[in-house]
Amino acid sequence: MFFSFNVTACAQNVHSDSYSPQVIRKVPLGQKVVALTFDDGPSAEFTPKILHILNQYHAKATFFVIGSRVERYPSLVRQLFYNDDEVANHSYSHTIMTRKRETTTETELDSTQNAVETVLGYRQPRVFRPPFGRVDRTLLRTARKKDYAVVLWSIDSHDWADPGVERIVNQVTSRVHNGDIILFHDQGGNRKQTVESVKRIIPILQERGYEFVTVSELLNYSNLKRD
């Protein structure tokens, strides 16, 4: 399903980074709604396992994909979309995008967005997460000009460090609040701990009454369902 939102309006209604009101970290809400996000994929090994868990628990997530990997694994991207998960922009080459020329940033954004939309055959929401969460004024200015919502996270699961399943589970479940955006990875290394952690985290949070939505849906909550 396609969700549209006004980037400026969203920035006014969300918890933004101190660096710029354009950087979204969470959406303060009265409702028990959170967004799971997965970076760096798709992965032929780990993305299908995560997708299976999401389907098992009727949960949605947003996958911030790398454009070059979209071209390599188009069937996985279609599978995500057809299962009502969101496919969002994480650059084409996963290079650090600070201290870059505006034209370079535009190419990274456009190449990934075009790759996703070519595979899916649909216009997608312009949701962008810069690699490593690194931003500067040029990147933010370019993203704003091209009408992207720049989305980071409010909870880092630390799965990238392979700290052990127990630590990942505790890192998320002990900190979660309404409107959080939670960072995981489905590629970029051995993500077995991520898979096992997600398998445990989702039912724990569901028992607490949380619903899992995409980032675009969460941003729409900020406009449509504010207290």
3-state secondary structure the chain: CCCCCCHHHHHHHCEEECCEEEEEEECCCCCCEEEEEEECCCCCCCHHHHHHHHHHCCCCEEEEECHHHHHHCHHHHHHHHHCCCEEEECCCCCCCCCCCCHHHHHHHHHHHHHHHHHHHCCCCCCEECCHHHCCCHHHHHHHHHCCCEEECCCEECCHHHCCCHHHHHHHHHCCCCCCEEEEEECCCCCCHHHHHHHHHHHHHHHHCCCEECCHHHHHHHHHHCCC
Could you tell me if residue 43 is inside a domain?
yes
Could you tell me if residue 194 is inside a domain?
yes
Could you tell me if residue 111 is inside a domain?
yes
Give the global pTM: 0.90
Could you tell me if residue 47 is inside a domain?
yes
Looking up residue 21, the CATH number of its domain turns out to be 3.20.20.370
Give dist(CA 189, CA 203) in Å, integer.
25
- Residue range of the domain that includes 116: 7-224
Could you tell me if residue 178 is inside a domain?
yes
Give dist(CA 164, CA 197) in Å, integer.
9
Could you tell me if residue 126 is inside a domain?
yes
Return the active site residues: 39, 185
Could you tell me if residue 1 is inside a domain?
no
Could you tell me if residue 13 is inside a domain?
yes
Give pLDDT tens digits along the chain (227 positions).
444 544 444 444 444 444 455 799 999 899 999 999 999 999 999 999 999 999 999 999 999 999 999 999 999 999 999 999 999 999 999 999 999 999 999 999 999 999 999 999 989 999 999 999 999 999 999 999 999 999 999 999 999 999 999 999 999 999 999 999 999 999 999 999 999 999 999 999 999 999 999 999 999 986 644 33
Q: How many domains does the chain have?
A: 1
Phi, psi (degrees; rounded to nearest 5) at 153: -160, 160
